[in-house]
Amino acid sequence: MHIHILGICGTFMGGIAAIAKQAGYRVTGCDANVYPPMSTQLEAQGIALTEGFGVEQLELRPDIFVIGNVVSRGNPLMEEILNRGLPYVSGPQWLADTLLRDRWVLGVAGTHGKTSTSSMLAWILEYAGLNPGFLIGGVPQNFGISARLTESPFFVIEADEYDTAFFDKRSKFVHYRPRTAIFNNLEFDHADIFPDLASIETQFHHLVRTVPGNGLIVCNGHEESLARVLKRGCWTPVEQFGTDEGWNIDANDRVTLNGKPQGTLEWDLLGEHNRMNALAALAAARHAGVPVAQGLAALSEFKNVKRRMEVRGAVNGITVYDDFAHHPTAIDTTIDGLRRKVGKARILAVLEPRSNTMKLGVMKDVLPDSLKDADLVFCYAGNLGWDVRGALAPLGGKAVVNDDLEDLIDAIAAAAHSGDHVLVMSNGGFGGIHEKLLKRLQN
């Protein structure tokens, strides 16, 4: 069977392409921006890519077109597919109907921590010999790939609340029907598609309705938003984490379940958020049959995810990190985690407000507080429609805002000195700032 994927170079759709190829499908695809690293990853797997959305791609005559959520009405190829009445389906629906059916799906949902927790969970299952398949929105360094399909019944998926497609405005995760579901947290985000937090809570309750009675929901016990979701109705056992009435972890990294000791978490990851992610992964893996002791042993060998506090280099005593943080809560927890590691050493926070929510300026009023623990703040304001300088004014003289990336790099390099830690945060490539900055520091 031949599938042609529209919007193939996104992390999610590229992952679908990879596992579809592994499943024996003929896979081709197109996107507006066909460039490395996703393009080279897909081409290495024998997947032919086309730049753009030209109607000549209809000549490929696939059995079905699989549509990513970057595609909208007015797209020339999509319009011709509609005009000719050709078969099409969303990426999440195709994945659910063809590859997830009859599998034990472990879905990881939440505003923050989905990629890290999914990676931890997949690694625990792998360590335990369960050989899981997975589709994750990042590259777990224990695996070196973001997606794979195996013969195992277990499949770990990052369960995103973003909408499915232009013709299906439900969240992606309602298609996956997990037997084990993790609810990490729930805050307002994706302001381009959700008007308020309540509307996201409704989507999460749609997910609750799909989890079977013999399944398990692993839920953050600190989140009032998630408590509201479950209060709407829940037909599945729930295990909470972060509370004494469920899974918890103390200051010495000793893990307990309902107050009973389970073992100690021994690893090098930073931050309270990762400790909570670990509890969720341990609980979900236990539901799949992995003893807690084995889960803890696996986490001691967990290597984190690329772009999660990843050290990109060190020059003249200055360390440069890359992190995916882009929501104020994630920015705050990321800086806090680094602060706990480096103590009184200076942290230079470098931010690109790139997500749709940040571009809309919805979070601008809480942004200064999320950056308060950094010693200096550098923000790239290119292509933003709101006053970044005004928003960061509460930070006073420690905030530098620039509309030109090269000028911003010059300012960072001029301010940095030996012993500093430069934390670069963006959910995109940020114009290759990491390598440019390292080169500038070297010179």
The pLDDT value given to residue 359? 65
The pLDDT value given to residue 200? 92
Residue 78 parent element (H or E): helix 76-84
The pLDDT value given to residue 271? 76
Q: Are 424 and 333 in contact (CB under 8 A)?
A: no
The CA-to-CA distance between both ends of the chain, in Å, stands at 54
The pLDDT value given to residue 45? 87
The reply to whether omega before 237 is within 30° of 0 (cis) is no
The pLDDT value given to residue 137? 85
User: Going edge to edge, which strands form the sheet with 88-90?
Assistant: 48-51, 26-31, 2-6, 64-67, 88-90
How far apart, in whole angstroms, are the C-alpha atoms of residue 296 and residue 114? 19
Q: Are 101 and 81 in contact (CB under 8 A)?
A: no
Judge if 77 and 152 occupy the same domain: no
- Which residue range is the domain that position 413 belongs to? 310-442
The pLDDT value given to residue 36? 64
Q: Which of 299, 325, 348 is the last residue of a domain?
A: 299
Q: Which of 45, 70, 92 is the last residue of a domain?
A: 92
Judge if 265 and 332 occupy the same domain: no
Q: Where are the alpha helices (DSSP H) in 343-393?
A: 356-359, 367-370, 388-391
How far apart, in whole angstroms, are the C-alpha atoms of residue 145 and residue 428? 18
CATH number reported for the structural domain that contains residue 88 in this entry: 3.40.50.720
The pLDDT value given to residue 382? 78
CA 351 to chain centroid: 17
Q: Are 166 and 73 in contact (CB under 8 A)?
A: yes
Q: Give the residue ranges of the chain where pLDDT is below 50.
A: none
The pLDDT value given to residue 35? 65
Judge if 116 and 80 occupy the same domain: no
In three-state secondary structure terms, 95 is helix
Strand partners of residue 260 = 257
β-strands 238-241, 216-220: how paired? Answer: parallel
Answer whether residue 97 is part of any domain. no
Q: What is the pLDDT of residues 327-349, one digit of tens each?
A: 788 888 889 888 988 899 999 99
Judge if 295 and 314 occupy the same domain: no
How far apart, in whole angstroms, are the C-alpha atoms of residue 236 and residue 215? 6
Q: Where are the alpha helices (DSSP H) in 158-236?
A: 197-208, 224-231
Q: What is the pLDDT of residues 423-437, one digit of tens each?
A: 998 877 788 888 899
Total domain count for the chain?
Answer: 3
CATH number reported for the structural domain that contains residue 258 in this entry: 3.40.1190.10
β-strands 347-351, 421-425: how paired? Answer: parallel
The Cβ of residue 77 has, within 10 Å, a number of other Cβ atoms equal to 21
The pLDDT value given to residue 37? 67
How far apart, in whole angstroms, are the C-alpha atoms of residue 45 and residue 38? 11
Judge if 82 and 140 occupy the same domain: no
CATH number reported for the structural domain that contains residue 384 in this entry: 3.90.190.20
